[in-house]
Amino acid sequence: MAATVIGNNLSTRVERKDSKRKTRTISGNTATYRYTQAVGTAVSESIGDEDPADSTIILRSINFDPNPGGGYETVELVYEPPNPPTGPTPPVGTITYEADANAIEIPIQQHPDYDEAASKTDKNGVFIPVVAGEEMPGVESYLVPQPTFLRVEILSSFTFTEAAIISGVGTRCAPTGLGSPTTDAWLKTRLSIRKNGNVVEKSETWQFASRGWNAKLYP
């Protein structure tokens, strides 16, 4: 994708850089982090995570820019407000589901059929990647699906213990309520418990990876 121009809006300001050299930019009620990493490095953030600097907004999209090149890429994390509630809290026992089947842009070098030895740059400086035996001049990235699945249940009570609040997070497992899932392709990335009076809202989020999650990293 094309690089994003920062600073073309008078309401935009660069706020800070953290210890990981992430630049955080504010525009209205949206926060965008950008940082450079080695191509192929896993992103630790997950869709639905709260902004570390503002708990009222959550991570809505993760984008990759093949620039600056030379084995490095730019990661863009976009945090926006969650969908507003549509009414009063549902009664205890209510279960709702939400699926977001978006696609993300990743460097062509991460394609499973990318041939590094055969890929080249021509005399005009045009990068020619080879994927599945075919030359693709100028192609720098491709889209892959990155769906997320959200399950929200209204409970009458919840006991806050360490084991309860981290239950299943970071493990490969089929999303509860999703029909015919590919178990190894789903990772439970978030468990959120919100108690309001006598009502408890339990939210669970799973993230899909088309090539599956590495069993050595995620049990």
Given a cut of 70, whether residue 124 has pLDDT beyond it is yes
What pLDDT shows up at residue 210? 81
CA dihedral 35, 40, 42, 43 (to 10 degrees): 30
pTM for this structure? Answer: 0.55
Q: How long, in residues, is the chain?
A: 219
pLDDT at position 87, please?
64
- Amino acid at position 195, single letter: K
Q: Which of 52-61, 80-89, 131-140 has the lowest mean pLDDT?
A: 80-89
Which tokens is 50 given? 């709260």
**pLDDT band with cut points at 50, 70 and 90 for residue 203:** very high
Where do the structural domains in the chain lie, given as residue ranges? Answer: 1-82
User: Looking at residues 2-18, what average pLDDT do you find?
Assistant: 33
Cβ contacts of residue 89 below 8 Å, gap of 6+?
A: 154, 196, 199, 201
pLDDT tens sequence across 88-101: 778 889 999 999 88
> Distance from CA of residue 201 to its chain's centroid?
23
| In the chain, % of residues over pLDDT 70 | 89
Distance CA 155, CA 83 (A): 21
Rounded to an integer, what distance in angstroms lies between the CA atom of residue 81 and that of residue 79?
A: 7
Q: What's the pLDDT at 178?
A: 93
Strands 199-208 and 134-135: unpaired
**pLDDT tens digit string along 106-117?**
899 988 899 999
pLDDT higher than threshold 80 for residue 179: yes
Predicted local confidence at residue 7, as pLDDT: 32
Supply the pLDDT for residue 39: 81
Cβ 39 vs Cβ 73: under 8 Å? yes
- Across 28-44, average pLDDT: 85
Ranges of beta strands (E only) in the chain are 12-17, 23-27, 30-38, 50-51, 54-69, 72-80, 95-100, 103-107, 120-121, 127-128, 130-131, 134-135, 141-145, 148-155, 186-196, 199-208
